[in-house]
Chains A and B, each alone.
Chain A
Amino acid sequence: MFQTILINGIITAGVYALLASGFSLIFGLARIINLAQTAFYMLAAYFTFTLMTLLGLSVPISTIISVVMTILIGLAVYWLCIDRIREHETTVLLVTVALAMVSQECLFITFGLYQRSVPAFVPGFWEVLGTRVSYQHLTALGIVAIVLFGIWVLLYRTKLGVATRAVAQDREIASLMGINVKMIYLTAFGMAVALAAIAGVVVAPIFSLDPFMWVHPLLMICAIVVLGGLGSIKGSILGALILGFVETLVVFLVPMGSFIKTAVALMIMIIMLLIRPEGLFGVIFEEERL
């Protein structure tokens, strides 16, 4: 029981960490609240399903194609929709929700309301401390860890990362230093979508897929980024660990837990906000008096 909770908690937390750090990245950088973040996650999962189960392609090819396709869609969405309305905050909010609805409806029309599943990428399991841990879960963990480390390297050890962080700190000065701000926004949005896409591909064999699978993670990542502090990737990862484990504990230990798991996680967020309104690692944007 304990081991099951542990392994499931880490998986959930890892997926949330990927989604929330993408959400946080693009918010911290461009003040874009991308509520379609989890729609990209859903799209990637469905691409994997289509390529693997329906077209019968092999695992590496179908996962790579899924991620690339999702990133391309994400960039197109940014180019066509979000870029031109960036100034209107609530409009961005609404357009991203509407886009998520569009993808939900497209999937609903194409695949119906059935719950779909993808076969495990790596079959088999590993017996540890009396519990079976499937290789699939371990692979998922490995991918999540590598991707999070990769994002850290990208942001803190490369020139692109320096430019990105400079834009996040002060857009105008960064622009004066010769950084192409629009290009940075585009790449950051691409990165955020890539994180979501990888999360979607990773969960495809673990969770079941249905056209409404974007709603619950969206609520969770909202709670996570508020808990961790908006715009802080470190905070998002820590928030994801906390809420991922809380969710798993509630599901496993409380009767009818799956009904109230969201409520419990959001309660924690609210209590946290009462104690520390800017979140764990958040900064108050006091100087932003528009």
Chain B
Amino acid sequence: MRRIFKALQGEIFAIPGRDIALLLFLFLFFLPLITTEPFILRIATFANIYVIFAVSWDLLCGFTGQINLGQALFYGVSAYTSALLNHHYGLPPWATIPIGALVAVGIGSIVALPAMRLRGIYLALATLAFPIVLTGIVFAFPDFTGGELGISGIVPLSLSRSTTYYITLLVMLASVFVMWKLTDVKSKMVRVGIILQAIREDEITARVSGINTTRYKLFAFCVSGFFAGIAGGLYVHVMRIAGPSTLELMTSVNPIVWTVFGGIGTIYGPVTGVYILFPLLEFLWIVQEIRILIFSILVVIILLFMPEGIAVWFRDKIESTCPRCKLQNIITRRTCRACGAELHLIKQSR
């Protein structure tokens, strides 16, 4: 017990960023006890789903550097698959969501194979096209896909609101944990994280170093597609309708907004982005007429002053990295808490 507390003290309490993460986690965990307001619980449920979606985008774009402007493809494919399976064959949610996610991976890898030849901005603009092509197909077969109205009458995730909330919360935590481990450079369990970031930094050098970059890019596409698919499946079972809105341009843009707002290339960035922006947009219903206007202006202004994202900016304000042992420290410390090196040498010399 004391050892656990020691570990907590060293790894979490000492770093303000992790304190905030812990507080957020506790808050989310006890949210249904604080309030049972359906509106708030619903927003929180959707926020959990969108966290998975945003982090999956960040894994592909922020960490691997493959800018994908069509993340809605995975989301929509999974949403439609889950909905069709549930509607036509009566499969329960715990079966439809993983199957939907796997189908999304399948479609994603079919898409990714040609996309492997493209780089940078070509890839971004080509991926923008895929969900829209799929929307055309959805409209072309209205009998099967429900056309513009979509598929409704889907079994809910659970009958009680707080159970639904807890299911999404747990799935979210598990997914984010897996993606965090997969992208973590310092991770000793899996080596993938450092390879993905190497591909982002310089693909040619990574290939020269003997990394099969195509395979790892495909892997990133599949993992990202899988988790985006999970988000899509959850969304369908919470919303209880799968319509063409899951494939539209805004669905692709949203994870980008959340991630870039929070801080691209970090896991905590998209999480912060979703928990700030999504509830904000929902609470702006009180000024419904101009809510998207206010929202967009806010995004522009914040990005102009913090182009690296609000979470990264904030973290730089409260934490500093030890120049010698690369350990995070609270900004108020003069010396590193582990090795005693001077922390603010560079800033002083300026």
Contacts and interface: CB of A to CB of B under 8 A. Distances in A.
B176 interface: no
B290 A109 contact: yes
Interface in B242-301: 249, 253, 256-257, 260-261, 264, 289-290, 292-293, 296-297, 299-300
B122 A94 contact: no
Nearest to A277: B117
Contact of B125 (A80, A105, A225): A225
A23 B257 CA distance: 22
B8 interface: no
> Which bracket fits the contact residues of A?
35 or more
Given A91-B260, A226-B125, A269-B126, A263 B133 contact: yes
A155 interface: no
Given A85-B303, A266-B129, A102 B136 contact: no
A93 B307 CA distance: 12
B329 to A, nearest CB: 26
A109 B134 CA distance: 31
B128 interface: yes
B22 interface: no
Contacts of A223: 125, 129
Nearest to B253: A97
B153 interface: no
Given A230-B122, A263-B137, A91 B307 contact: yes
A81 interface: yes
Contacts of B136: 259-260, 262-264
A285 interface: yes
A251 interface: no
B122 A102 contact: no
Interface in A67-112: 80-81, 84-85, 87-91, 93-95, 97-99, 101-102, 105-106, 109
Contact of B303 (A95, A259, A285): A95
Interface string A202-237: 000000000000010001001101100010000000
Contacts of A230: 121-122
Contacts of B130: 266, 270
Contacts, number: 126
Given A101-B292, A225-B125, A226-B125, A259 B140 contact: yes
Contact of A81 (B132, B140, B304): B304
> Which bracket fits the contact residues of B?
35 or more
A33 B124 CA distance: 11
Contact of A94 (B204, B205, B260): B260
Q: Identify whether the interface residues of A are mostly helix, strand, loop, or mixed.
A: helix
B128 A219 contact: yes
Given A90-B61, A94-B260, A264-B136, A285 B118 contact: no
B304 A95 contact: yes
A258 B193 CA distance: 44
A94 B304 contact: no
Contacts of B140: 256, 259-260
B120 A91 contact: no
Contacts of B253: 97
A273 interface: yes
A90 B67 contact: yes
Given A109-B289, A222-B129, A273 B202 contact: no
Which 7 residue pairs are nearest across A and B when measured between Cβ atoms? A263-B136, A266-B129, A105-B293, A260-B136, A101-B296, A98-B296, A259-B139
9 contacts: A90-B260, A94-B261, A95-B303, A101-B293, A102-B296, A263-B134, A263-B137, A277-B118, A282-B122
Interface of B: 61, 67, 114, 117-122, 124-126, 128-130, 132-137, 139-140, 202, 204-205, 249, 253, 256-257, 260-261, 264, 289-290, 292-293, 296-297, 299-300, 303-304, 307-308
Given A230-B122, A266-B133, A273-B122, 15 more contacts: A84-B307, A85-B303, A95-B299, A95-B303, A99-B296, A102-B297, A219-B132, A219-B249, A222-B129, A262-B136, A264-B136, A270-B126, A270-B129, A279-B122, A289-B205
Interface of A: 27, 33, 80-81, 84-85, 87-91, 93-95, 97-99, 101-102, 105-106, 109, 215, 219, 222-223, 225-226, 230, 256, 259-260, 262-264, 266-267, 269-270, 273-274, 277-279, 282, 284-285, 289
